[in-house]
Each structure stands twice: as structure tokens, then as C-alpha cells.
Amino acid sequence: MRVSPGLSPAPAPRGVGDSPFGFLVLDKPAGLTSHDCVSHVRRAYGLRRVGHGGTLDPAVTGVLPIALGPATRLLPYLSGAKGYRGVIQLGLCTSTDDLQGEVLARQSVPSLDQPALMLALASFRGDILQRPPRVSAVHVDGERAHVRARRGEAIELAERPVTIEALELLGWDPATGQLELRVDCSAGTYIRSLARDLGELLGCGGALASLRRTAALGFALDQACGLEALQSEPLPPLRDPLEALSHLPQRRLSEAEWPSWRCGRRLSGDTAVAAEQAVVILDPDGVLAGLARSDGAGQLQPRLVLDPAG
């Protein structure tokens, strides 16, 4: 395993050793899949145990958090909230709800000003139902929707609840029919669907022209590095997983509790923590030791022990 002398990884759990442990936040370029990026990271760090959180389409750029070593086991516990900046092209409908698909219809864009657009956008804020694009990774009868769609099958995906926390109009160009948006949303929200649905509401159709993810899984664009940073020494330092787990309550172990935790025994917890709530467990040194689930009655059941006994 090749580890750069300049690498300053997050503190590893007790007993894990000096293997890379933490998150690398990539600024994914256009044209690569998320899996392509994982392959680059595997080669750079000489590590097979690498995984990404929050798949990005090849045309989309921006924040792609990549977990290295034991941090891959933390991915299900990270916040699903995401942030985007995107450009929507009004006046057309496509088979994929973006400009990469086949154009199905073109219509003239009505005369719109910023107040009219802001009024239309207001209906998409908060908790809404959204239908994913036909060409998406949603499973339909055990198969990805995009696989069935590309075989020519007619697919009508069911609407799903999503939350759009913020939806801000950043710019509007009547000459081109393009508007730029900032979006903060829950996991499972499709900006392509937002483009399509906004176009439908305005009566002219719409498709996503470009998209850049600015935040995902608790990480932001200002923490990201480009793929070129993997081509030279020292390799980029890894982010401490505790940064991405800051949305969860914490419980620090005493030296006396440490052996019991490593054996998977229950811990006492805070009765104010709701049942099924994930709780970050820290070792006596304050380093991440794993995660537990609260039973709502003051007990914590281990769910992920990073340095188990034996």
C-alpha cells in the first residue's frame, strides 16, 4: 500500500493501525462516472476498500464524498441533504429531462419576469411529491429504470416524497430562456425532475442544462479537491469522519467502558435521545469508535464497532 509521507489522515480507531481512514471530497469533473472517480482514488492510495456516497451523473460536476478504509461503513449514517446550482433551459422537453436526451418537443417560452418565476418556484419549496426521471437509477421490479427505458420500455415511475429546503432564483435570461437556481434538498430529489416540472407548470417544457453539486453528506465544495491532486505527492489529507457525523448526538466512553463496547455490549445513554436515533460513540481519547442505536429508554445498542475485540 502506498501512502504519501505528507498524508495526514483522520485519527484511526484504536486497533485499526495506520491504514487510510476518512473521507476524500472530490470536485468531480464532467465526463466521468462516480465509479471512475473511485477507481482513481483506489490507485492513488493503493487501497481497495473505497466507496462513494451520492452518485453523480457523468455530466454533473461538484462534490463527491469518497470514503476510504473503515469509513466506507459510515456511509449509511451520513446526512442525505444536498446542495446544487443548476441551469434550466425552458422551451423544450427531452427523454431524459436534461440536454443529454432526445428532444421530444419544442415550445415558445412565454414572456416571464422574475416575480412570475419566483411565484412558480414557490410551489416547489417544502415537502412535495416528485416523479423521478424515466432515465434514473430508481429500481422498477428489481431493475434500474434507466436500463428498462433504454430498451424502449414505457415506464411511468411513481411519485415520491422529497423536501426542497431552499430554492433561490439566481438569474434569468429571457433571450435564451435559461434560469439559474440554487437548491438545497433532501436525498432522493432529482433536479432534472424539478426542471421538467417547472417547465410543465409554465406551459413551455423544461430540461436541465447544467448542474453542479455544492454540498453532499455533510461536506461542501470548499473542502473538495480536483482529480489532478491525486497525481502528485503529497496526496490530499483525508477529512475526519466526525465532520460528516456532526448532525448526530455523541457519547464518549470511559476507559472502564471501552472493553465492553469492543465486545458489543449495551451502554447506558441519554433518555432524551429518541428511539432508533443513531448515536456516535467516541473512544476515551475522543476518536470515533463506532455507532449505536438508542432504544429510547436510556440504552444504546452497538450497531457498528470499528475495533471489535477478538
Give yes or no: 57 in active site: yes
Task: Report the C-alpha gap between 197 and 131 in whole angstroms.
Answer: 9
Task: Convert 80-92 to b/e letters by CB count within 10 Å (16 or more is b).
Answer: bbbbbbbbbbbbb
Residue 129: burial class (beta carbons within 10 Å; 0-12, 13-18, 19+) = exposed
**Beta-strand relationship, 267-268 and 206-216:** unpaired
Please name the residue that has the C-alpha cell 469508535.
Answer: 289
Q: Helices 114-122 and 191-202 meet at what angle, rounded to 10?
A: 120
Q: Which three cell numbers stand for residue 64?
A: 463527491
Output phi, psi for 91, to 5 deg.
100, 5
DSSP for 81-109 reads -EEEEEEEEESEEESSSBTTS-EEEE-PP
Among candidate residues 18, 27, 36, 57, the one labeled active-site is 57
Q: Which residues are catalytic?
A: 57
